[in-house]
Amino acid sequence: MQLNPLSGKNLTPRLGLLLAAVVAAATLAHAEPTNTIPTLQIKADQVTAKVSPMLYGLMTEEINYSYEGGLYGELVRNRTFKANTTNAVFWNVVGNGIIALDTNQPLNSALNVSLKLDASKASKNSPVGIANGGYWGIPVRPETTYHASFYARGNGFTGPLTVAITSTNGETGLASATVPKITKKWQKYEVTLTTGGIAPSQDNRLVISTVKRGTVWFSQVSLFPPTFNNRANGNRPDLMQLLADMHPAFLRFPGGNYLEGNEIWTRFNWKNTIGDISGRPGHLNDGWGYWSTDGLGLLEFLGWCEDLKMQPVLAVYAGYSMRQRHVAPGDDLKPYVQDALDEIEYVNGDVNTPWGAQRARDGHPAPFALNYVEIGNEDWFDKSGSYDERFTQFFDAIKAKHPQLQVIATTKVKSRVPDLLDEHYYRSPEEMQLHALDYDTYSRTNHTKIFCGEWATRVGSPTPNMAAALGDAAWMTGLERNSDIVLMASYAPLFVNVNHGAMQWRPDLIGYNAINSYGSPAYYAQQMFSTHHGDTVLATDSQDIPTVSRQPPARRVNGVDQPLPPEQHVPKLFFDATRDSQTGTIFLKVVNSLGTPQPVKIQISGASAVEAEGAAVVLKADRPDDTNSIQEPARIVPVTEKVDGLGTDFTREFPPYSITILELKTK
């Protein structure tokens, strides 16, 4: 096994970020020259662990317009007029009309505000209407059918209404349809809008207008493009395809901070996220500062899992919200525990259970397979120290009803033994490298299995650059090598809408605007790792791993400067080896974080022969801050090449700033 040259205390992400930034700014680092070529030994006949089939998964939440303005197909922004209580934000009036929010004409108790359009000055030559510019544009593609729907009622107005997608300046009509008649009562209207041979564009808006006079109210105005697998109320195909290409084993949802909310009442309250979307009140995503319609609700998360063949990792609200609000364990917590039991039943109960029956009414009679439930998120932030007791209450209730479920704790607990412990790490590239071997030191006999449920190397914006990918890859060699302990892992955050004002957190794995999307170098590093590995971990050893020395800054404690901590030696070359027990292929992953080519001697024992020809998948860059972007989405992508000269003892030069997966065919 590789030895950890350094030891380090795991930092909480929020504190860790701060310290990482300070450390990065204040430390001095220099390469330690060595004339010796590093040597890696792979012991093909010594299996140290099985590669967990659940190792590579996804973590998701509504952050950076990940769902609305991102994955969720809806193109209309503020479709329910609830994003702001005083103004119809993201809506504009067309022509000589007046628009205003109206709480006196609600569609129902969930959608308790509507948009009133005074079209009393409409005329044949001067239509009046409402327009929505979407999430930084409405993407339109050639020969494509869009599904528009809205609720409306008229007063002295019977229609018709024209529904159209036009360019933002209104000069070019791209598709349109007519709703001939509007009644006095609320009613849902639906039309399809089909484009012709136009060029793809995003500088567009949805317009609903009339040339007739009167007053009309609107509720839940929606526009959907074709979705992945044509799922109703579904997801954006290009983003789903990027995820599918990662072959993720699981999806941890509905969040992080998004699950907890700042306040108990702004938590992700799953019961408000199911059923017809017109019955979903939505909620303020105050953790990240914008409104959520909850169009992507519990059943949609499950559909997303179904589409990508991922196991759900269901995070249930556990009675803690981020402004240090907690529900006292005991009687006060009981309703929340019951909510979690109901939620589990909604996911996996058969149609004869109350919540299984509800799921069937919502359109999915078949239960979903559920194996993992996580109790809360980052409960180490709960300064009241109530988590142990809260966890116990959830754990006991869940295990009593569903003994087969794996129950995940978000921080250490003493009263029960969780099946998995969720650890989160957000670090600078150097911190990632320093800690890349941490899991090698975890006890094999006395340690709760780990779900590394959020991790990322934090450099690059809005998406990670090559330095981040190198930090991530170093970290992943540690995850994979230790996947007897680390059963599951997921990077976070997953998505960012790259438009100005959309991002709350950086970096994020996948970027997009209304019409285009791209994977960061870190995305490709993960895709390479998750799609190229065997089912067993092989024993390895190494000598002469290059390091960079680094002087961490002195700390001040209570205003007093502390002595300089000892110099650190940050490894710059990382590796692990797995083997496919069926084919015998060895996957050797080598990460060269140095800016110079790195020759490495590779010695393989325990295999009678290694074929001279094999393959290499390589991700590399000229500089650590090289990256992909919405303008240049494929600057850094993996390249697969045939390689020769392999054997049981060979030397290979790994390019500067590179991640390489060598496929070695053994006999």
**Interaction site with ligand AHR (CB under 6 A):** 13, 61, 255-257, 377-378, 454, 492-493, 505
Cβ-based nearer residue to ligand AHR, 209 or 520: 520
How many C-alpha atoms does 75 have within 13 Å on its Cβ side? Answer: 26
Cβ-based nearer residue to ligand AHR, 13 or 137: 13
Nearest alpha carbon to residue 333 among 320, 349, 342: 320
Give residue for tokens 């012991």: 43
CB-based burial label for 25 (10 Å; 0-12, 13-18, 19+): exposed
Rounded to an integer, what distance in angstroms lies between the CA atom of residue 68 and that of residue 417? 37
Cβ-based nearer residue to ligand AHR, 273 or 377: 377
Give residue for tokens 């300064």: 383
Sign for the pseudo-dihedral over CA of 391, 339, 72, 310: positive
Write the CB contacts of 154 (distance below 8 Å, at least 6 apart in sequence).
Answer: 182, 183, 184, 214, 215, 216, 217
Rounded to an integer, what distance in angstroms lies between the CA atom of residue 578 and that of residue 480? 8
Least separation in angstroms between residue 218's CB and ligand AHR is 34
Do you find a cis peptide bond into 33, omega within 30 degrees of 0?
A: no
Helix or strand or coil: residue 377? coil
Give residue for tokens 């659940």: 54
Least separation in angstroms between residue 256's CB and ligand AHR is 2
Least separation in angstroms between residue 13's CB and ligand AHR is 5
Q: How far is CA 592 from CA 469, 547, 659, in A?
A: 11, 11, 6
Cβ-based nearer residue to ligand AHR, 13 or 248: 13
Question: Any idea what DSSP says for residue 287?
Answer: T
Q: In the bound complex, which residue of the shown chain has the CB atom lying closest to ligand AHR? A: 256
Least separation in angstroms between residue 462's CB and ligand AHR is 14
Least separation in angstroms between residue 584's CB and ligand AHR is 39
Beta carbons within 10 angstroms of residue 529's beta carbon: 24
Cβ-based nearer residue to ligand AHR, 265 or 380: 380
Cβ-based nearer residue to ligand AHR, 132 or 490: 490
For residue 3 the two structure tokens come to 């030895």
Least separation in angstroms between residue 59's CB and ligand AHR is 7
Cβ-based nearer residue to ligand AHR, 314 or 662: 314
Cβ-based nearer residue to ligand AHR, 13 or 418: 13
Cβ-based nearer residue to ligand AHR, 97 or 255: 255
Least separation in angstroms between residue 322's CB and ligand AHR is 9
How far is Cα of residue 293 from the mean position of the Cα atoms in its chain?
18
Least separation in angstroms between residue 258's CB and ligand AHR is 6
Helices 334-348 and 387-401: angle between axes, nearest 10 degrees: 40
Least separation in angstroms between residue 381's CB and ligand AHR is 8
Question: Any idea what DSSP says for residue 214?
Answer: S
Least separation in angstroms between residue 61's CB and ligand AHR is 6
Least separation in angstroms between residue 12's CB and ligand AHR is 8
Residue 306 in contact with residue 347, Cβ under 8 Å? no
Nearest alpha carbon to residue 451 among 49, 20, 58: 58
Cβ-based nearer residue to ligand AHR, 219 or 285: 285
How far is Cα of residue 281 from the mean position of the Cα atoms in its chain?
24
What is the DSSP code string of 616-663?
A: EEEEE-SSTT----SSSTTSS--EEEEE---SSEEEEEEPSSEEEEEE
Beta carbons within 10 angstroms of residue 566's beta carbon: 9
Rounded to an integer, what distance in angstroms lies between the CA atom of residue 280 and that of residue 274? 7
Do you find a cis peptide bond into 493, omega within 30 degrees of 0?
A: yes
Beta carbons within 10 angstroms of residue 485's beta carbon: 19
Cβ-based nearer residue to ligand AHR, 70 or 139: 70
Cβ-based nearer residue to ligand AHR, 157 or 381: 381
Least separation in angstroms between residue 424's CB and ligand AHR is 6
